[in-house]
Structure 1
Amino acid sequence: MRYLWFLLLLLPLALFPFPYYLTLLNFFALSAMVALSLYVLTGLAGMTSFAQAALMGMGAYATALLTVKVGLSPWLGLGAGLLSALLLALLLGALTVRLKGHFLPLSTIAWQVALYILAGNLVGLTGGHTGLTDLPPIHLFGISLDTGFRYAFLTLFLLVLLVLALYNLRQSRIGRALLALRGDALAAASFGVDPAALRLKAFLLSGVIAGLAGFLYAHFLRFVNPTPFSLEASIKYLVMAVAGGVGSIPGVMLGAAFFTGLEDWLKDLLPLLLGRQGNYETIGYGLILALILILAPKGLWPMVERYLPSRDPGLPKAEPLPLKSPKGPRGEVVLGVQGLQKSFGGLMAVAGVSFDLRRGEILALIGPNGAGKTTLFNLITGTLVPDGGKVFLFGREVTGLPPHRVHLLGLGRTFQHPHLFPELTVLENAALGTFARTRAGFPQVLLGLHRREEERALATAYGALRRVGLESLALERAERLSVGQQRLLEIARLLASGAEVLLLDEPAAGLRAQEKRELASLLRSLAREGYTVLIVDHDMDLIMGLADRVVVMNYGEKIAEGTPKEVQRNPLVRAAYLGEEEVA
């Protein structure tokens, strides 16, 4: 389907006898570009913005000012428009991407309204609500694009290129990471993603796309005023994306086509029904959107997609990424925990816990529910900042470093409850672990220069799935896995990441007896290869038969440390688990 989009370029020929519909076709292309900017921001990264029309306006006003007031070429206006939209996106993104919940969309509304008012009141610069007129037409290869027919070839060609670039983005390490951020930023950080930095880059890309649409809009109408860049316009573009299906490129395009045609139809129909003129189409938008979301909560495209033939992507056949074998003498301390403390209000969750983890060993961290084991994991991995104490990884202090930086140093973790992404396949979930081992950035990805690296990343992920016994499910969606299979998938993602120190939080929960034996065999094999494992689990048979040493916690304190047999004989441990009276 990726290359079927080039069929769009035939539409101007089909509509050549109908100038009005050529104009409508250009408006569709421009609306689709803004809607695609929301695909990046909302569909992939999970951020909602009501400022896309403002970003579009920056591109339009920048080229209008340069071409009308300075007399420069529209192509210089293109550069100025993209740069202006990029700078505004940088400002908005830097201030808003760290916001959560409803605060992010509310802040973009504030910026959108402020910029609209500013454009309307800077009469000397922008012409106020009267606007700037007589923008020059774009010339391409000596041809003036001064008709809807000629202009449609430019807008549709750029739209097709943008669609292909965003397909590349979705099928890449960055696309997977953005989807992971949308679903679970904590899990994304655990395999090397910097959430704030990646969200900001997505905001910048979204801004550049909207700025391009603004440039094209200005030179199509050859007139600019604030009205097309209002809050109402931003809402309209968001409605297009959501109604079509903001999570997919075809959905966004369908929404843009549907509402572009619908707007024109409503403008003609509603005055006839109501007997008066006015902007009643906004009410029509709302009612139709509500109906779509009731009947198709994920948008129109999933309803269409179910009737289309599915494509089997096939299994990766490339050479995996280079194996990162653990290096260093067996028995050296790779993780040192010294006096870690963490309290929540008056509750001391972790009270001065210390222990060392040595290369090639399996150390179990056990204790009753509420003992502080998961909190300790979060302190070690950087998810929580300790109130006191230090953490050393391979001799380097990592106390308080954010999770993505801790991971880059060779530490990976799983979670007490599986943190997976149900809309991704099992293979893609495992490939998330390769994020820190691959390097393709936005430019390479958008241009499709990442494909060899991507194939190797998928091959690495498939090898990790084979190691945990999930290779037969590689192309299934993760939502179809049982709880036990989800936990194995988390371990596969960890193996694909190349981490040397593995922190496993209850990996055996939900596994059947045979699966537990296979898990134990896998962990012993990894330990022999030089991997180091810190495991939390409540299955004492598994722990006592697997661990080299055991650390026991109770009420946030370490109460015992030693071999499994030593710990089993410890009266403090027996009291913690069985409630026996301590022996004086």
Structure 2
Amino acid sequence: MNANTQTRAAPGAPSRLSPKLVLGVFLVLLAAAPLVLPEFYVTLLNYVGLSALVALGLVLLTGVGGLTSFGQAAFVGLGGYTTAWLTTAQDLPGWLAFIGSSPWFTLVAGLVITATVAVILGSVTLKLSGHFLPLGTMAWGISLYFLFGNMEFLGGHGGLSGIPPVSLFGYELVNNGQFYYLVWCFVLAALFTTRNLLDSREGRAIRALKGGMVMAESMGVDTSRARMVIFVIAALHACAAGWLYAHLQRFVNPTPFGLHIGIEYLFMAVVGGAGQVWGALVGAGVITVLKQWLQDILPKVFGSAGNFEVIIFGVMMVIVLQRARDGLWPLIAGLVPVREAQKTIDPAATPLVKKPQPPMGETILEAKDVTRKFGGLVANNNMSLSVKAGEILALIGPNGAGKSTMFNQLSGVDTPTSGDVLFRGKSVAGHSSREIAGLGMSRTFQHVRLLPKMTVLENVAIGAHRRGSKGVLPAAWRLDRDEEARLLREAAVQVERVGLKDFMFAEAGSLALGQQRILEIARALCSDPCLLLLDEPAAGLRLKEKQALAELLRRLKSEGMAVLIVEHDMDFVMSLVDRVVVMEFGEKIAEGLPAEIQSNPAVLEAYLGGV
């Protein structure tokens, strides 16, 4: 076995095609298109390719990362205007004149300028959430559009003409058929690198954004960086499309870079399949071709010219959102019997380095007089507790006692109003959950937080994020395969460790709730922690599953791991833990051995019903 993606057909299943064969047929058809199609359709395919580049960035940004942008057309304009101005302006300084001497130099310049602008805009826009984020992208999209039209050196609303053709090995690409291959080389390179990126440590971090910031940060993912990465990549895709557009048209003006075109690009991503890489191609093809046909047909139907196609697109968007929320690509892919790709694990991959566990009995975690107030509500009041290496401590109490709030103070999800939290002797109050995760603390959640469309193996591998180091570029060009094999091997070990081996390649969303809770424990273990915080891990488990979980926790305890557990199942808790802390109304009312707690009058009255 190896760590690459392989394909397998289930025994007795109908014969299915190899993905490589299907891809090969697609590439042959793509290469032959200019040789057999009329000039009009070759031109149309060029525009499909340009739109697909922008839509692909939106698939990464919106479909995968969950960040909606209406302003991508402005980045297309940055790429187009950069090369148009540099290649046509007179009396430029020497160094700018040198850059403008070749369209390939202006491509690099455009990418640098676009990346810089994207970082500046992203540093402001990506701090917004909810409906404010798309509104923010609309704001700067409109601003850049009017900037293009109002700058005299950019030709105003009349634009810039006389843009030179692109030369390749001394050969000028002066017609649509010649330019076609350049456009589609860009598209295929973008598809290839995007698929590679998503199939990597960095890609899992990006996909984890949809599972929520709290979960991702708790697994060690720098969510701010991940959001900025996909924002910049989407902008660079759009910039490359703008560069190609300028040299294809040999003319630019602001019209193709307005907000309405940005909305059209978003339509393409959603119609094709916002979470599907190949959906960008489908969406761009459907919208571009349909737009052209409708512009030809509808004026004949209505007897006058107008933007009637916009009405059709609006209706189509509503239908897609109602009937095919995953877009058209899954429907199209279902028509072709292609064998499903499945990852395999390389047992020979070098195991990841494990940190030594602290000595048995060493105090791992200590909370000192932790208080958390939300306005006039006191959720935690002077809470103190400690957990030692090789110990299981239970934190129990009625619903609303403040247990999950306390977990958030300990793990860095929230910051105490007063008091302190020491982890391995270091104060971590006010530190981010990502920083604390890096010190060796990992957690699960009261409400399961998984990526339902990702496999069990991939979900667990998110936990090992901080144990890898390869960045975006190595991932995009598959230079991270050795590290990826090691991360997947570690994830597989943890999946087997918690008893989910038979579900390793199943989608996490297909598991029962109890199994999903166990999966969260595997993900937490994948980070190589010395302290586990488990929030109601036995909820939804059957008796045998609880017994298996208890055995796993005892094994972790014997290895020197500290475990802090919140749980309502008293039979499970009292037969497992070493000590118990009881909370009520945000305060500690008792602490001691399980037998002592079970006979404590205050606990019996407050939590166990006075029995």
Range of TM-score over shorter length: over 0.9
- Please say if residues 326 and 530 of structure 1, whose CA atoms lie closer than 8 Å, have aligned partners that are also in contact: no
- Please say if residues 352 and 486 of structure 2, whose CA atoms lie closer than 8 Å, have aligned partners that are also in contact: no
The 1:8–1:265 alpha-carbon spacing in structure 2 relative to 1, beyond 3 Å, is farther
Q: 52, 76, 79: which one pairs with 2:108?
A: 79
Q: Deviations along 1:27-66, whole A, 9 cap, x unmatched?
A: 1110100000101101111100001000110011111111
Q: 268, 272, 279: which one pairs with 2:300?
A: 272
The residue correspondences of 1:105-254 to structure 2 (distance < 5 A) are 105-122=134-151, 124-254=152-282
- Map of 1:11 onto structure 2: 30
The 1:340–1:58 alpha-carbon spacing in structure 2 relative to 1, beyond 3 Å, is same
- Map of 2:4 onto structure 1: none
Question: How many angstroms does 1:98 deviate by?
Answer: 1.9
Equivalent-residue separation in structure 2 for 1:239 and 1:326 (angstroms): 51
Task: State the one-letter code of the partner of 1:165.
Answer: T
Question: How many angstroms does 1:443 deviate by?
Answer: 0.8
- Please say if residues 120 and 226 of structure 1, whose CA atoms lie closer than 8 Å, have aligned partners that are also in contact: yes
The 1:89–1:405 alpha-carbon spacing in structure 2 relative to 1, beyond 3 Å, is same
Equivalent-residue separation in structure 2 for 1:158 and 1:12 (angstroms): 14
Equivalent-residue separation in structure 1 for 2:319 and 2:209 (angstroms): 29
- Map of 2:10 onto structure 1: none
- Map of 1:99 onto structure 2: 128
- Which stretch shows the higher mean deviation, 560-569 or 127-136? 560-569
- Map of 2:84 onto structure 1: 64
Equivalent-residue separation in structure 2 for 1:326 and 1:486 (angstroms): 28
Task: State the one-letter code of the partner of 1:53.
Answer: A
The residue correspondences of 1:331-346 to structure 2 (distance < 5 A) are 331-346=361-376
The 1:386–1:435 alpha-carbon spacing in structure 2 relative to 1, beyond 3 Å, is same
- Which stretch shows the higher mean deviation, 320-329 or 21-30? 320-329
Question: How many angstroms does 1:16 deviate by?
Answer: 3.1
Equivalent-residue separation in structure 1 for 2:72 and 2:462 (angstroms): 29
Question: How many angstroms does 1:287 deviate by?
Answer: 2.1
- Map of 1:360 onto structure 2: 390
Higher relative contact order (CA 8 A, sep 6+): 2
- Please say if residues 363 and 534 of structure 1, whose CA atoms lie closer than 8 Å, have aligned partners that are also in contact: yes
Equivalent-residue separation in structure 2 for 1:13 and 1:129 (angstroms): 38
- 2:342 partner SS: coil
- Which stretch shows the higher mean deviation, 265-274 or 46-55? 265-274
Task: State the one-letter code of the partner of 1:365.
Answer: L
Question: How many angstroms does 1:185 deviate by?
Answer: 1.7
Task: State the one-letter code of the partner of 1:538.
Answer: H
Equivalent-residue separation in structure 2 for 1:320 and 1:312 (angstroms): 24
Q: Deviations along 1:169-191, whole A, 9 cap, x unmatched?
A: 11112222222212322111110
The 1:483–1:11 alpha-carbon spacing in structure 2 relative to 1, beyond 3 Å, is closer
- Please say if residues 12 and 152 of structure 1, whose CA atoms lie closer than 8 Å, have aligned partners that are also in contact: no
Equivalent-residue separation in structure 1 for 2:506 and 2:32 (angstroms): 42
- Map of 2:600 onto structure 1: 570
Question: How many angstroms does 1:9 deviate by?
Answer: 6.4
Equivalent-residue separation in structure 2 for 1:419 and 1:292 (angstroms): 27
- 1:504 partner SS: strand
Equivalent-residue separation in structure 2 for 1:199 and 1:350 (angstroms): 33
- Please say if residues 197 and 203 of structure 2, whose CA atoms lie closer than 8 Å, have aligned partners that are also in contact: yes
Task: State the one-letter code of the partner of 2:201.
Answer: R
Equivalent-residue separation in structure 2 for 1:31 and 1:510 (angstroms): 47
Task: State the one-letter code of the partner of 2:122.
Answer: G
The 1:9–1:156 alpha-carbon spacing in structure 2 relative to 1, beyond 3 Å, is farther
Equivalent-residue separation in structure 2 for 1:418 and 1:213 (angstroms): 40
Q: 292, 295, 308: which one pairs with 2:323?
A: 295
Q: Normalization by structure 2: what TM-score?
A: 0.92
Task: State the one-letter code of the partner of 2:494.
Answer: A
Equivalent-residue separation in structure 2 for 1:331 and 1:403 (angstroms): 25
- Please say if residues 323 and 498 of structure 1, whose CA atoms lie closer than 8 Å, have aligned partners that are also in contact: no
**Please, what is the CA RMSD of the aligned residues?**
1.6
Q: 432, 436, 441: which one pairs with 1:402?
A: 432
Equivalent-residue separation in structure 1 for 2:119 and 2:480 (angstroms): 25
Question: How many angstroms does 1:358 deviate by?
Answer: 0.8
- 2:69 partner SS: coil
| Unpaired stretches in structure 1, ≥5 consecutive residues | none
| Unpaired stretches in structure 2, ≥5 consecutive residues | 1-18, 93-99
- Map of 1:317 onto structure 2: 346
Q: 383, 394, 404: which one pairs with 2:413?
A: 383
Equivalent-residue separation in structure 1 for 2:35 and 2:201 (angstroms): 42
Question: How many angstroms does 1:3 deviate by?
Answer: 8.2
- 2:386 partner SS: strand
The 1:157–1:273 alpha-carbon spacing in structure 2 relative to 1, beyond 3 Å, is same
- Please say if residues 352 and 467 of structure 2, whose CA atoms lie closer than 8 Å, have aligned partners that are also in contact: no
Q: 6, 13, 24: which one pairs with 2:44?
A: 24
The 1:297–1:486 alpha-carbon spacing in structure 2 relative to 1, beyond 3 Å, is same
- 1:306 partner SS: helix
Q: 446, 451, 456: which one pairs with 2:486?
A: 456
- Map of 1:415 onto structure 2: 445
Question: How many angstroms does 1:325 deviate by?
Answer: 4.7
- 2:157 partner SS: coil
Question: How many angstroms does 1:513 deviate by?
Answer: 1.1
- Which stretch shows the higher mean deviation, 203-212 or 308-317? 308-317
Equivalent-residue separation in structure 1 for 2:411 and 2:608 (angstroms): 31
Task: State the one-letter code of the partner of 2:40.
Answer: Y
- Map of 1:472 onto structure 2: 502
- Map of 2:360 onto structure 1: 330
- Map of 1:88 onto structure 2: 117
- 1:322 partner SS: coil
Identity %: 46
The 1:2–1:233 alpha-carbon spacing in structure 2 relative to 1, beyond 3 Å, is farther
Task: State the one-letter code of the partner of 2:342.
Answer: P
Task: State the one-letter code of the partner of 1:403.
Answer: S
- 1:144 partner SS: strand
Q: 444, 460, 463: which one pairs with 1:430?
A: 460
Equivalent-residue separation in structure 2 for 1:566 and 1:580 (angstroms): 15
Q: Normalization by structure 1: what TM-score?
A: 0.96
Equivalent-residue separation in structure 2 for 1:110 and 1:2 (angstroms): 43
Q: Deviations along 1:313-356, whole A, 9 cap, x unmatched?
A: 14312426325254332111111111100122222110011121
- 1:197 partner SS: helix
- Which stretch shows the higher mean deviation, 301-310 or 364-373? 301-310
Task: State the one-letter code of the partner of 1:11.
Answer: L
